[in-house]
């Protein structure tokens, strides 16, 4: 069996001009995770990342803490990109506001206010599940891309190895969907529960993908500082 560690990126800068810029707390989170892996003598035979700056930078800091002298090179693939939630919201914005004018305030501030973003995201997902938008095709395409990413990791590395994948919450939710056969709405809902720098481990082999660990932040809990445990 191959163990694939799916690691969510650290806290970035939601609501700023550049969400991808890691916060100071996020940098601390990544350093703590790298130290944690090093103390446990965890070694990755291959490391993958999605294409976003926050995913790549997280991977670089964590692996740098683990292997100051260098380790396996970072393989960047679009297959572990995040789901484009902003595009999904934007494509339905006019219809959502027309159906419920009370959403106008949220529509005006969703790019910088998380509560507004989540409200509109949940409404957009509900419209999709009700068949009132064509976004279901985009979500299915996203899930299929993640599935192909897992296939790529296994194909390129074989078995009996530990592989790290640095990605985002939506991507990890898609992996959970594949492992647990979740419904689309459950898959999306799960994404809100995934912590920054959380570790989810899956055993992969013999055409199976089995969940071993989900959403662990033991590396943060050891510091007994609740401010280190974040979602954004």
- Distance CA(106)–CA(114), nearest Å, equals 10
- pLDDT the model gives residue 18: 78
- pLDDT the model gives residue 131: 82
The residue to which tokens 């509900």 are assigned: 126
**In sequence order, which residues have a C-beta less than 8 Å from that of residue 231 and are 6 or more positions away?**
192, 194, 195, 196
- pLDDT the model gives residue 75: 98
CB-CB neighbours of 12 under 10 Å: 24
- Distance CA(15)–CA(181), nearest Å, equals 33
- pLDDT the model gives residue 106: 93
- Distance CA(99)–CA(122), nearest Å, equals 15
Query: 3-class secondary structure for the chain?
Result: CEEEEEEECCCCCCCCCCCCCCCHHHHHHHHHHHHHHHHCCCCCCEEEECCCHHHHHHHHHHHHHHCCCCCCCEEECHHHCCCCHHHHHHHHHHHHHHHCHHHHHHHHHCCCCHHHHHHHHHHHHHHHHCCCCCHHHHHHHHHHHHHHHHHHHHHHHCCCCEEEEEECHHHHHHHHHHHHCCCHHHHHHHHCCCCCCCEEEEEEECCEEEEEEEEECHHHHCCCCHHHCCCC
- pLDDT the model gives residue 186: 85
Domain ranges of the chain: 2-83+139-228, 85-129
> Is the CATH number 3.40.50.1240 carried by domain 2-83+139-228?
yes
Q: Phi/psi of residue 73, each to 5°?
A: -65, 155
**In sequence order, which residues have a C-beta less than 8 Å from that of residue 155 and are 6 or more positions away?**
none
Is the distance from CB of 99 to CB of 107 less than 8 angstroms?
no
Q: What is the pTM of this model?
A: 0.93
- pLDDT the model gives residue 178: 94
- The tens-digit pLDDT sequence of the chain (232 residues) is 899 999 999 999 876 667 789 999 999 999 999 999 999 999 999 999 999 999 999 999 999 999 987 788 999 999 999 999 889 999 999 999 999 999 999 999 888 888 999 899 989 988 888 888 877 788 889 999 999 999 999 999 988 799 999 999 999 999 999 999 998 778 888 988 999 999 999 999 888 999 999 999 999 999 999 999 999 8
- pLDDT the model gives residue 15: 67
């Amino acid at each position: 069996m191959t163990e694939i560690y799916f690691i969510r990126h650290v806290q970035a800068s939601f609501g700023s001009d550049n969400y991808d810029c890691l916060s100071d707390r996020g940098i601390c989170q990544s350093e703590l995770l790298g130290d944690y892996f090093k103390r446990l003598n965890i070694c990755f035979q291959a490391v993958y990342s999605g294409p976003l700056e926050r995913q790549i930078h997280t991977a670089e800091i964590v692996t740098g803490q683990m292997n100051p002298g260098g380790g396996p090179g970072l393989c960047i693939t679009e297959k572990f990109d995040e789901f484009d939630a902003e595009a999904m919201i934007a494509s339905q914005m006019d219809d959502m506001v027309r159906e419920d004018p009370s959403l106008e305030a949220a529509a005006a501030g969703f790019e910088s206010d998380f509560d507004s973003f989540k409200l509109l995201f949940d409404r957009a997902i509900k419209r999709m599940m009700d068949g009132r938008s064509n976004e279901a095709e985009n979500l299915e395409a996203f899930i299929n891309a993640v599935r192909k990413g897992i296939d790529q990791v296994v194909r390129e590395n074989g078995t009996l190895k530990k592989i790290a994948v640095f990605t985002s919450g939506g991507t990890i939710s898609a992996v959970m969907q594949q492992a647990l056969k979740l419904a689309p709405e459950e898959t999306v809902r799960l994404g809100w529960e995934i912590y920054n720098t959380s570790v989810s481990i899956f055993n992969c082999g013999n055409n199976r993908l089995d969940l071993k660990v989900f959403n662990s932040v033991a590396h943060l809990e050891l510091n007994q500082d609740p401010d280190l445990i974040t979602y954004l």
